Amino acid sequence: MKPRDVEIVQSVLEITGPINPTEVYDKAKELFEKGEITNMFDHGGNTPDRSVSATIYTALNKGEEVPFLKAQEKPVLIALKSAAKEPVLNIEKPGVSSAKIAHNKIMHDKGFAPLFNLHGYS
């Protein structure tokens, strides 16, 4: 990755916190237009946002020495390495399994557990 691109990504992460690589270009453009960052990516073509995210993924996959890392898999989020040392809150929405567990606990507490066992719920 070009040093200038690394600096831009680092600046965006310092302001926004963890972000999806596909959103970095648009967020950088917004921050640049507001004057919150001083440099902008110089990727040309019809899809500079895709070029930037591809560059980020390539740097991570090749193990390049960059100040950020993949902080979360699904959805992919990158964060500054220094921020990764701090406790990270799980920002994912509760899954179906945790909703089912909560529902079953409520029904069990109300005395409906035997009904669930008849229908194959546990």
* pLDDT for position 103: 47
Give the domains, in start order, of the chain with CATH numbers: 3-84 (1.10.10), 92-122 (no CATH)
* pLDDT for position 86: 57
**Mean pLDDT in residue range 5-22:** 96
Name the strand (E) or helix (H) holding 72: strand 68-72
**Mean pLDDT in residue range 20-24:** 97
Q: What is the mean pLDDT of the chain?
A: 80
Task: Calculate the alpha carbon distances from 36 to 16, 28, 39, 44 in Å.
Answer: 11, 9, 9, 22
List, for residues 60-119, the tens digit of each pLDDT value.
999 999 999 999 999 999 999 987 665 555 444 444 444 444 444 444 455 544 554 554
